[in-house]
Amino acid sequence: MAEQTFRTAMRTTDIVVTAQFSPAAVVAIGLADLYARFPLRIGLGLGGGAIALSSQDTGAAADANRDEAVTQAVLLGALVGLPFVLVGLFLGRPIVALLGADARTAMLGGQYLALVFATAPARHVALIGARSLQGTGDTRTPMYVNVVANTLNISGSLVLGLGLFGAPRLEIVGVGIATAAANVLTAGLLLLAMATSWSDANLVRPRDTTIARQLVRVSTPRVLEGFSATVAEFPFNALLLGFGTPVNAGFQIGRRMYQQVTGPLSRGYNVAASVVVGQSLGDGDPDGARYQGYAVTGLGLATVGVVGLALVAAAPAFVSVFTDDAATVPHAVAFARVYGATAAFLVAYTVLSGALQGASETRIPLLARLTGTFGFLLGTTYVVGVLLEYGPLGAYLGVGVQYVWMTLVVVAGFRYTGWASRAAEMMAERGTGGDAGERGA
- The residues spanned by each domain of the chain are 2-429
Give DSSP secondary structure letters for 37-53.
Answer: HHHHHHHHHHHHHHHHH
Give the end-to-end CA distance of the chain in Å, rounded to a whole number.
30
User: What's the pLDDT tens digit per position in 278-304?
Assistant: 999 999 999 999 999 999 999 999 999
How far apart are alpha carbons 174 and 11 in whole angstroms?
14
| Residues of the chain under the 50 pLDDT cut | 434-441
Q: Are the CB atoms for 152 and 127 separated by under 8 Å?
A: no
Q: What's the confidence (pLDDT) of residue 433?
A: 67
How far apart are alpha carbons 361 and 222 in whole angstroms?
9
Question: Measuring CA to CA, which residue among 209, 200, 221 is closest to residue 356?
Answer: 221
How far apart are alpha carbons 352 and 361 in whole angstroms?
11
Whole-prediction pTM? 0.84
Q: What's the confidence (pLDDT) of residue 441?
A: 39
Question: Measuring CA to CA, which residue among 15, 46, 38, 48 is closest to residue 277?
Answer: 48
Angle at 81 between CA 27 and CA 147, to 5 degrees: 70
How far apart are alpha carbons 377 and 394 in whole angstroms?
9
Kindly report the backbone phi and psi dihedral angles of residue 391, in degrees, each rounded to the nearest multiple of 5, phi listed first. 60, -135
Specify burial of residue 207 (Cβ count, 10 A radius: 0-12, 13-18, 19+): exposed
Angle between helices 245-282 and 343-358 (to 10 degrees): 40
User: What's the pLDDT tens digit per position in 374-388?
Assistant: 999 999 999 999 999
State the sign of the Cα–Cα–Cα–Cα dihedral 254, 395, 179, 186.
positive
Q: Are the CB atoms for 34 and 338 separated by under 8 Å?
A: no
Specify burial of residue 168 (Cβ count, 10 A radius: 0-12, 13-18, 19+): exposed
User: What's the pLDDT tens digit per position in 208-256?
Assistant: 999 999 999 999 999 999 889 888 888 998 899 899 989 998 998 888 7
Q: Are the CB atoms for 340 and 258 separated by under 8 Å?
A: yes
How far apart are alpha carbons 135 and 125 in whole angstroms?
15
Torsion (CA) 42, 53, 225, 131 in degrees, nearest 10: -50
**Mapping DSSP to helix (H, G, I), strand (E, B) and coil, where does residue 29 land?**
helix
Q: What's the confidence (pLDDT) of residue 369?
A: 95
